[in-house]
């Protein structure tokens, strides 16, 4: 599901600091320096005892801090953005970690833009799965839905033309996916060994990946397409011996991937499609995610807006390759409803269910959030997972139903 993008409340620092920064850019125009942060405290509660012996049972407390520093000069045509992140966790050692989500220099001109450094680049239009989102590696210890991403080193040149925007990416420095530790919940039956990693490319983590993307708006349609060549962000996990213990070894193939995403806004209807073709040395396949969102404004003559969502996921690998190929959604349907209260507190509610049409597996999610004052927001998330088919990807998570309460402080 597509989680809400966090927005930071920025404030201006003292004029003296802006004056000092101008000394470093004597030829620059107006200088601006903004900094903002958020501190988030979370409490998870798992409804069932752990499925595997080493895991903790019920309660998991956690907190993270994330900041955003923005520094611009030359009348805004040059800027630096810095977004550090750090989390502490009471139960999972692998979940206690830090990352630089972004640290990049940006130069903007009339019809082109250059971005250098560590960045996050998101592609996608659907709600429940983002097939085309390929640039950044998944931060798997944050959550199991794949929405959280690690920062990626890149050189990105963006060309803005009348016929569309072309982005060229050079991506040095591959980042391995993060996984829960032996004590953590929301993990496979075997622990993923973070120290036992192999690559198809002899360059390993230093392989230089490449991507090019074209995006354009034509009438009611927003269209994007791309080609990516480089290290597959999804590892192949195979059983391996670590002493007397059986663990999962990570192997990262090289891949070529073609992707397309389309969104059409037709009155109250929002039609969405994502599709990919991926080729590796192991296999080639096609996958798609498509659906719609229908918006009803002023439900029952109130301030409420209701959005009804339906999406279908398909993967050409089908059932037979699920054990090794990572085809999480090969024949699945998703239904959801989004309720916006349009009040001063920006209260929202999202409810969704997913059903695997090939296996006896269902999932349920509930996300609710509400602001308090100018600096606080509270959220409640509930995830329920049901699976009785060992070939289904959620079978190993069948006892990981949980609720999470979060309080965010923006400062």
Angle at 395 between CA 394 and CA 400, to 5 degrees: 75
Closest by CA to 400, choosing from 150, 194, 127, 145, is 145
**Position 224 pLDDT exceeds 90:** yes
Q: Scan for tokens 């991403």, then name that residue.
A: 149
Characterize 320-329 residue by residue with b for buried, 16 or more Cβ atoms within 10 angstroms of its Cβ, and e for exposed: ebbeebebbb
At 273 the pLDDT is 98
Read off the pLDDT of each residue in 301-316 and give the average, rounded to a whole number.
95
Q: Which whole-number Å values give the CA distances from 202 to 71, 176, 205, 356, in the listed order? A: 39, 16, 9, 38
pLDDT in tens, 334-357: 999 999 999 999 999 999 999 999
At 15 the pLDDT is 40
Contact status, residue 21 vs residue 386, Cβ threshold 8 Å: no
At 25 the pLDDT is 47
**Position 320 pLDDT exceeds 80:** no
Read off the pLDDT of each residue in 30-42 and give the average, rounded to a whole number.
95
**CATH fold for the domain made of 11-410:** Porin (2.40.160)
**Position 277 pLDDT exceeds 60:** yes
Read off the pLDDT of each residue in 144-169 and give the average, rounded to a whole number.
96
Query: Using 50, 70 and 90 to split pLDDT, how confident is the model at 162?
Result: very high
Q: What tokens appear for 280 in the block?
A: 């590796």
Q: What is the Cα–Cα distance from 233 to 210, expressed in whole angstroms? A: 13
Read off the pLDDT of each residue in 258-272 and give the average, rounded to a whole number.
97
Mean pLDDT of the chain: 91
**Position 27 pLDDT exceeds 80:** no
At 358 the pLDDT is 87
Q: Three-class SS of residue 15?
A: helix
Q: What is the Cα–Cα distance from 356 to 364, expressed in whole angstroms? A: 12
At 28 the pLDDT is 55
Read off the pLDDT of each residue in 295-302 and give the average, rounded to a whole number.
91
Q: Scan for tokens 């991506």, then name that residue.
A: 171
Read off the pLDDT of each residue in 192-220 and give the average, rounded to a whole number.
96
- Residue 352, Cα to own-chain centre: how many angstroms? 18
**Position 365 pLDDT exceeds 70:** yes
- Residue 71, Cα to own-chain centre: how many angstroms? 25
pLDDT in tens, 61-89: 999 999 999 999 999 999 999 999 999 99
**What's the burial of 390, exposed, middle or buried (CB within 10 Å: 0-12/13-18/19+)?**
exposed
At 326 the pLDDT is 54
Read off the pLDDT of each residue in 203-217 and give the average, rounded to a whole number.
97
pTM of the model: 0.88
Q: What is the Cα–Cα distance from 66 to 235, expressed in whole angstroms? A: 28
């Amino acid at each position: 599901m597509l989680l809400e993008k966090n927005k930071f409340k920025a404030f201006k620092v003292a004029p003296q600091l802006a004056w000092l920064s101008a000394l470093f850019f004597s030829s620059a125009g107006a200088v601006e320096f903004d900094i903002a942060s958020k501190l988030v405290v979370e409490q998870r509660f798992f409804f069932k005892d752990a499925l595997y012996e080493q895991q903790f049972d019920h309660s998991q407390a956690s907190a993270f801090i994330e900041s955003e520093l923005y520094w611009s000069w030359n009348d805004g045509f040059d800027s630096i953005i810095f977004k550090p992140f750090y989390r502490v966790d009471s139960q999972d050692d692998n979940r206690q970690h830090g990352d630089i989500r972004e640290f990049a220099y940006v130069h903007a001109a009339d019809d082109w833009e250059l971005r250098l450094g560590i960045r996050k680049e998101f592609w996608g239009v659907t709600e429940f799965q983002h097939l085309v989102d390929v640039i950044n590696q998944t931060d798997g210890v944050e959550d199991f839905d794949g929405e959280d991403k690690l920062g990626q080193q890149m050189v990105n040149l963006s060309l803005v033309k009348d016929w569309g925007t072309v982005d060229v990416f050079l991506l040095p420095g591959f980042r391995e996916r993060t996984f829960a530790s032996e004590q953590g919940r929301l993990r496979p039956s075997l622990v993923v060994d973070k120290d036992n990693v192999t690559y198809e490319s002899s360059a390993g983590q230093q392989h230089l990946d490449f991507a090019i993307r074209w995006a354009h708006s034509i009438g009611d349609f927003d269209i994007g397409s791309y080609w990516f060549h480089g290290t597959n962000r999804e590892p192949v996990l195979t059983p391996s011996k670590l002493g007397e213990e059986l663990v999962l070894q990570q192997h990262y193939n090289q891949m070529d991937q073609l992707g397309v995403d389309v969104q059409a806004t037709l009155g109250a209807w929002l039609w969405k499609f994502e599709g990919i073709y991926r080729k590796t040395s192991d296999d080639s396949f096609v996958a798609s995610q498509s659906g719609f969102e229908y918006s009803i404004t002023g439900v029952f003559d109130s301030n409420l807006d209701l959005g009804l969502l339906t999406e279908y996921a398909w993967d050409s690998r089908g059932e037979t390759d699920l054990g090794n190929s990572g085809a999480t959604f090969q024949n699945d349907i998703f239904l959801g409803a989004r309720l916006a209260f349009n009040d001063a507190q920006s209260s929202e509610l999202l409810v969704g269910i997913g059903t695997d049409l090939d296996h006896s597996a269902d999932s349920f999610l509930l996300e609710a959030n509400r602001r308090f004052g100018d600096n606080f927001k509270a959220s409640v998330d509930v995830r329920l997972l049901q699976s009785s088919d060992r070939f289904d990807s959620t079978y190993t998570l069948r006892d990981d139903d949980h609720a999470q309460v979060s309080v965010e402080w923006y400062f």
